Amino acid sequence: MTSKTLAENFALYFDIKFANTKALQQEAYRIRHAVYCEELGWEPLRDDKMEIDNCDSYSFTLLLQHKATKRYAGTARLVITPPNQPECLLPFEAHCLDSITPGAINLQDFQPGSYSEISRLAVPEEFRRRLGEQHTPFVVNEFSSDVAVFSEEERRNFPNIAVGLYLSIIALSRMCHHQAMFVVVEPRLKKRLERIGFPFEQLGEEMDYHGVRALFYLRKENYTAKLSPEVLELYQFLYDSLYPQVLLLPYLQR
């Protein structure tokens, strides 16, 4: 029997959803609360069990839905500064500018709204349960087969949830014609992402923020240039799945 490709496995188990309704956005906020507030204690507990911040008003949110159970297996958002609202900062602009190495990048070279930040990527515990990973919001598995989730068949065939979310966010950034995207992550995670084909470049010193982290960015020309054919096929599947959902957004008059 011919083995399935990564994209075929993903299509078998997951749907990517563009959170363009209040109900879907609240599903993402609940996942974030469960992971960032209840499990990790990185953010304060909220009475409504939804983790929301100021950036959500100018973010696009994605959800990954597990087909068999209809449960949401992960979420991530793409934060984009509105071009006509320069006071709306990306998270790294609000918290990490002092860590950037002088000369590493000139943000003045980017027009407002032409770059974005990957933020609040979170996977519920049941979808990332793995020895030694209890204190992380998500796990990058490098396509290993040791994810203890659901059936044995799914353990063998589940593609990496976090990588699927990263690819989906990159697809969304490409749809927006962004010149670059930024992320604040652990350096060790950056190395894992690099091996998969995401050549994020470090922009500054490591800082202590819920562990050791640093600011990285990905140039537009490198969004997919380093992906293997198998991962590129998954990216294209996710892009094709998202594209009609984004086009179906109602037109908002100025």
Residue 38 lies in a domain: yes
Strands 115-122 and 72-80, how do they pair? Answer: antiparallel
Q: What is the pLDDT of residue 249?
A: 64
104 to 89, 98, 112, 149, 211: CA distances (angstroms):
20, 12, 19, 41, 23
Q: What is the pLDDT of residue 156?
A: 44
Q: Please enumerate in sequence order all residues whose Cβ is within 8 A of that of 184, keeping only pairs 6 or more positions apart, or say none.
A: 91, 92, 95, 96, 209, 213, 214, 215, 216
Q: What is the pLDDT of residue 135?
A: 55
As for how many domains the chain has, the answer is 1
Phi then psi for residue 159, to 5 deg, are -75, 175
Per DSSP, the chain holds a count of helices (H) and strands (E) of 7, 8
Residue 247 lies in a domain: no
Residue 12 lies in a domain: yes
* Range(s) of the domain holding residue 11: 6-242
- For residue 97, the domain's CATH number is 3.40.630.30
Using a 10 angstrom Cβ sphere, with 0-12 exposed, 13-18 middle and 19 or more buried, the burial of residue 145 is exposed
Strands 59-66 and 14-18, how do they pair? Answer: antiparallel
**Which residue, 17, 46, 23, is CA-closest to 33?**
46
pLDDT digits (tens, 9 = 90+) for 76-100: 999 999 888 888 999 999 988 989 9
Residue 79 lies in a domain: yes
Residue 253 lies in a domain: no
Taking 70 as the pLDDT cut, the residues of the chain under it are 1-2, 129-159, 248-254
Which letter, b or e, does each residue of 199-225 get, where b requires 16 or more Cβ atoms within 10 Å of its Cβ? ebeebbeeeeeeeebbbbbbebebbbe
Q: What is the pLDDT of residue 141?
A: 52
Q: What is the pLDDT of residue 132?
A: 46
Task: Quickly count: other Cβ atoms within 10 Å of residue 229's Cβ.
Answer: 8
* Contact criterion met (CB below 8 Å) for 77 and 28: yes
